[in-house]
Amino acid sequence: MPVIPKLNPRESGDYVSKNSVHVNIKEDGIERIANKVIKSLLSHPDEISVNRWKTHELLPQTQDEFAANWIFLSDLLNFCFWSSPGKEYMVHYKSKNRTGYWSLCAALWRALDDGYDITNPAFYSKIDESTLKKIFRSDSNYDIPKLHERHCIMLKDGEILLKNFNGSFLNVVKACNNSAENLVNLITKEFTSFTDQINFQNVEVSFYKRAQILVADIWSCFGGKGYGRFHDIDTITAFADYRVPQVLNWFGALKYSEELTSLLKKEGTTFAHGDRWEIEIRGCTIHCIELIVKKVNETLESLPSSTTNLKVNSIIIDHYLWDMRREKAKELESVPYHRTESIYY
Ligand SMILES: Nc1nc2c(c(CN[C@H]3C=C[C@H](O)[C@@H]3O)cn2[C@@H]2O[C@H](COP(=O)(O)O)[C@@H](O)[C@H]2O)c(=O)[nH]1
């Protein structure tokens, strides 16, 4: 039985984009985004940097074991918030209605306010589904998607964190010798719910969206220092979710075939995990952002010396585009995004 080659996320993005039929990466769209990033970088450098973490009020602002365990749990559950329009799960917290990813963060803080030791794997690895239902109760008429799957993941991966790493994600970080790549590999090897990989044309491609965003969140929260210092953080790729492709498509950096466009426009279309459509969108997203990073850094290097210390990586570009999708949610309402029932993103 021939061994199927296995690619890391960067190689996977490159391979998928080279073999993609329904999704194309367009140079003019890349230029458009790169120019926008450079303009923002030169005017507000801090907003497009590891320091962006501090601007989000629902993220932990300490650099300690609590923050590391909070981040592990949030990225264990950081998937599939999409629903049909107007039927969104919502948590009202700190006087705002929180939806999507932020509804998850709000529910975790609300649980802590309610006295649940929710970020402790000794607690959530044994939690029963009715308590979890209370913790994720909705303030709209729509429940959090995939509660049962989230429960199973908390039991299973919480148990592994408890038993093999003494209940602290800092012990997982310490085992990777400040290498982001080692940490992604350790996470995907030890914790089953992070193995976001799939066979595409006889090659095992890996996107590792939740494992990579988990490493990126530690890097961001700890400001690239101490436990957040990774000598190879630039090996982390963009996070292949369903929102960043939406923005890339909006800028014309990702162009979809007629067939894919009409499918996406059709109300209620969903793609199965592993569908060609889904893999092409996710793989081209990763590669497209690699090309944007290259374009931005080349331009920065050509500018007068005062800006040469500015440099971006795929995490920074990804966050910039993900934030933009939220800021411009109204304009992007008419831009379709793909829906896949998945525990991976
Ligand atoms: N590519 C990428 N996908 C991301 C994130 C985040 C939030 N994390 C960052 C936020 C602050 C910290 O810096 C965290 O790193 C969530 N998602 C995904 O989006 C989807 C939900 O989207 P919406 O409907 O808008 O909530 C869902 O698949 C979710 O998994 C990101 O940053 N990049």
Nearest C-alpha to atom 10 of ligand 1 is from which residue?
A: 319
Helices (H), the chain: 9-18, 27-43, 65-76, 100-113, 121-124, 129-135, 147-164, 169-174, 180-190, 209-221, 244-250, 258-265, 276-302, 314-327, 329-332
Q: Tell me if 4 is assigned to some domain.
A: no
Give a yes or no: residue 268 inside a domain: yes
The confidence score (pLDDT) of residue 51 equals 82
User: 302 lies in which domain range?
Assistant: 9-332
Ligand 1 contacts CB of residue 78 (under 6 A): yes
Q: Which atom of ligand 1 is nearest to the CA of 210?
A: 30
Residue 99 inside a domain? The answer is yes
Average the pLDDT over 119-136 and give the result: 98
316 CB-contact burial (10 Å; exposed 0-12 / middle 13-18 / buried 19+): buried
- Burial of 155 from C-beta contacts in 10 A (0-12 / 13-18 / 19+): middle
Closest-CA residue to 214 (of 108, 44, 77): 77
CA of 306 to the centre of ligand 1 (A): 32
Q: Is 94 exposed, middle or buried (0-12, 13-18, 19+ CB in 10 A)?
A: exposed
Report if residue 340 sits inside a domain.
no
CB of 198 closer than 8 Å to CB of 273: yes
Number of domains in the chain: 1
242 ligand 1 Cβ < 6 A:
yes
244 in contact with ligand 1, CB cutoff 6 A: yes
What residue type is 233 in one-letter code?
A: I
Options 75, 157, 241, 318, the catalytic residue: 241
- What residues does 204 pair with on adjacent strands? 6, 199
342 located within any domain: no
pLDDT score, position 333: 92
Is 310 within the bounds of a domain? yes
Q: Which atom of ligand 1 is nearest to the CA of 53?
A: 13
pLDDT of the residue at 95 = 98
Bridge partners (DSSP) listed for residue 92? 97
Averaged over 64-80, what is the pLDDT? 98
Q: Report pLDDT digits (tens) over 136-188.
A: 999 999 999 999 999 999 999 999 999 999 999 999 999 999 999 999 999 99
Q: Has 64 been annotated as catalytic?
A: no
pTM of the model: 0.97
Helix (H, G, I), strand (E, B) or coil at 138: coil
**Residue 144 domain-assigned (yes or no):** yes
Phi and psi at residue 191, to the nearest 5°: -115, 110
Q: Is 326 near ligand 1, meaning CB less than 6 Å away?
A: yes
Q: Tokens for 166?
A: 């003494």
Predicted confidence band at 45 (pLDDT cuts at 50, 70, 90)?
confident
The closest residue, in CA terms, to atom 6 on ligand 1 is 101
Q: What are phi and psi of 256, to 5 degrees?
A: -100, 150
190, part of any domain: yes
DSSP, collapsed to helix, strand or coil, labels residue 8 as coil
Would you say the CB of residue 145 lies under 6 angstroms from ligand 1? no
The angle subtended at Cα 152 by Cα 149 and Cα 154, nearest 5°, is 110
Q: What is the tens place of the pLDDT at every residue in 283-340?
A: 999 999 999 999 999 999 998 876 567 899 999 999 999 999 999 999 999 999 999 9
- Share the mean pLDDT of the chain: 96
Q: Is 217 near ligand 1, meaning CB less than 6 Å away? A: yes
Express each pLDDT in 234-273 by its tens digit: 999 999 999 999 999 999 999 999 999 999 999 889 999 9
